Structure 1
Amino acid sequence: MRVLVIENYRATPLGLVGVALADAAADIDLVRAFDGEGLPAGHDSHDALVILGGEQTALDDDAHPYLPALAALSRAFGDADKAVLGICLGAQLVARGHGAENILGRPVEFGWHPVQPTPAGRDDPLMAALGDRAPVFHWHSDTITLPPGATHLASSDRTAIQAFRLGRAVYGVQFHFEADRALVSQWNAAFAPEIAAHSPDWFDRHPTEAARHGGAADALGAALARRWVALI
């Protein structure tokens, strides 16, 4: 199993998805596209694609000119019936590649908040793991419309489209299920000024919220990661 992983920003690793891929003995080709590393021309050399998050928008082509090609690459993988996982910005790029509208500049959704599956999500191979409602970590402001032909899988109180599926195994997931408590703590250090700009009380709240929600969110994230890897 050979998986192409695209990093769109610094300090945005695979997290729990990386654990699941390692458990499956996957070979990972990591491309730091934000740092100028080039995308492959197509999907032939890989069995699956992961597109991670980032600070930029999915339409920030002037500053990140590789974004249109990455959106198109996600479509090529899906058209070849290969598994795709887009997380946060990655989900927005998958949506862009499949004809959705990117909606920019909404209020920030940040921290551990619950997500609930749609009726279709309750029967989905991944999102059934949510149960009726589960806490997950969020960090985004932008969102999307549902891509044509996609199945809407999950929502939160502030964001209608938290997850969708196209075909058999192309998933866009807005929330950061890959981010366990350890990764969230790393983000606290790496992005302290950015977090303080929109959530100045976060560093006071974080220990309590991590204790209250982190264990369940970590377990759910690991389950979602394993379920997606099983689809490859």
Structure 2
Amino acid sequence: MRVLVVQNYQNTGLGQVGRALEEAGVEVDLRQPYLDEILPNDDSDHDALVILGGDQNALADDTHPYLPELARLTKRFGDADKAVLGICLGSQLVARGHGAENLLGRPAEFGWHEVTGTVEAKSDPVLSAVPQKFPIFHWHSDTFTLPEGAVHLASSHMTRNQAFRIGRAVYGIQFHFEADTKLVDEWRHVFHDQIKNLNPDWLANYGTYLERDGAAADAAGRALARAWVALI
């Protein structure tokens, strides 16, 4: 199996998803179009697609002119019945590619916070792998409306549309379930100045939040990653 992974920003690795792909023996084809690497024209050379997060918004076509094509690519893979996973910005691009509205500049949701699955999540191939309520890491201000025909799978206190599925295996997941405590700690250092401007209290109380939610968030993220990879 060969999976196309699109990275949209520095230091935004695959985390838990990468480990699940490695466990399954999947070959990863990493593309970084924000560094002017070329995206494929279609799905013909890949069995699945993963789109990671980024600092830009899903409509930043002027500064990131590859975004419209990346959004369209999510639909090409889905129409071919191939698994798609969009995380954070990636979920917003999946929504865009399937005709939904991107909602920009809302209040930031940051840190480990609880997500609640919908009734539909109980029978979903991916979301059923975790409890109905679980803590997970968030870092976003933008969101989206649900695409037509999408199954709504999860919400948080601040964001109604935290996860959805289209068809068999196209997923948009707003929260950062790929970000285990190791990756979050890396972000804490690499993006220290951005976090300080966004939420200085989080930095000051990092140890408390880590002890409260870290282990449960890691377990949930690992289960979600393995469940999605099984759909490839």
Within 5 Å, give how 1:54-203 maps onto structure 2. Answer: 54-203=54-203
- Cα distance in 1 for residues equivalent to 2:180 and 2:77: 27
- 1:15 matched residue in structure 2: 15
- Cα distance in 1 for residues equivalent to 2:62 and 2:140: 21
Identity level (%): 61
- Cα distance in 2 for residues equivalent to 1:128 and 1:230: 13
TM-score, length basis structure 1: 0.99
- Cα distance in 1 for residues equivalent to 2:95 and 2:4: 18
Q: 1:203 aligns to what SS in structure 2?
A: helix
| Cα distance, 1:123 vs structure 2 | 1.2
> Residue deviations 1:41-89, cap 9 Å, x none?
1100000000000000000000000000000000000000000000000
> Residue deviations 1:187-210, cap 9 Å, x none?
011111111111011111111111
Q: 2:205 aligns to what SS in structure 1?
A: helix
> Do the aligned residues in 1 keep the contact of 2:115 with 2:133 (CA within 8 Å)?
yes
Residue identity matched to 1:16: Q
- 2:228 matched residue in structure 1: 228
Q: 2:200 aligns to what SS in structure 1?
A: coil
Residue identity matched to 2:139: W
| Cα distance, 1:132 vs structure 2 | 2.3
Structure 1: gaps of 5 or more residues: none
| Cα distance, 1:128 vs structure 2 | 1.3
| Cα distance, 1:104 vs structure 2 | 0.2
- Cα distance in 2 for residues equivalent to 1:208 and 1:99: 41
- 1:36 matched residue in structure 2: 36
TM-score, length basis structure 2: 0.99
Moved beyond 4 Å, runs of 4+: none
| Cα distance, 1:131 vs structure 2 | 1.6
Q: 1:220 aligns to what SS in structure 2?
A: helix
- Cα distance in 2 for residues equivalent to 1:49 and 1:132: 26
Structure 2: gaps of 5 or more residues: none
Give aligned pairs, total: 232
> Do the aligned residues in 1 keep the contact of 2:17 with 2:222 (CA within 8 Å)?
yes
Residue identity matched to 1:150: A
- Cα distance in 2 for residues equivalent to 1:179 and 1:75: 25
